[in-house]
Structure 1
Amino acid sequence: KIRASPTSSAASRISKNRTRSYEVIGPQNGMNTAPLATPTVPARAPMFVDPTPLVIPKDGNLQGFSVDEMAAFFRYMRINEEIVQRLQRKELDGRKFAKLKDSTLEDLQIKNPIILHFRDRSNKGRTSFML
């Protein structure tokens, strides 16, 4: 291991003069050279046990989805389970999902490009008529 000297021009002196402005650290300097134990990472638990099969329409319009289908959709999108349960309690179906604004999605912490895509596709048939 190499420790550079505390001077700011140490790197430039090494490259220009090839002088030794660093200190070699080893067992004689009090450093422990025993290999570090690799941390064990626990296996990631599945987000949900038995996902219900979900068929998304080709046009991306989710207005016909029920509350349970929307919950399954959010689980497939890997939305936090607490948020999914909250949306289920609020009875968020496809029609309500299509009406959500960007600020609401941001407050719910589910605003991402994929969710916005499906929200926009679900809102497609709801354009108002203007003269």
Structure 2
Amino acid sequence: MKQYGYVRVSTNGQNIERQMTAMEKENIPNNQIFVDKKSGKDFDRKAYKRMLRKLKKGDTVFIKSIDRLGRNYEEIIEQWKNLTSNKDVDIVVIDFPLLDTRNQVNGLTGKFLSGLVLQVLSYVAEV
């Protein structure tokens, strides 16, 4: 089981340092961090696709905040489901501990709350 980081900024001119510092604090090796410098309007991103191919059951993906994953509400929900259900990996949103799928203490209630929070934050990310 490996830990990966996903970092995204919208343009080449934007700085990734804040997100990279967060990944460093989580002890994610640089060679396991995928960086895209492209808009979050969709998931047609090279590094994101490379990360998807690399992920195996039981791995964990760290992102700094939900808007770094994307900005399209429906696509964020779809990708979250793809990662957690189809790929069977965990996701940790560093800035929002409720969005941490590892060891859900509250079982079904915890998953429900995570899903509800995800929907609200995804909506906010798009708006």
Q: TM-score, normalised by structure 2?
A: 0.26
Q: Which has the higher strand share?
A: 2
Q: Which has the larger radius of gyration?
A: 1
Q: TM-score, normalised by structure 1?
A: 0.25
Q: Which has the higher helix share?
A: 2
Point out which structure has higher relative CO (alpha carbons under 8 A, 6+ apart): 2
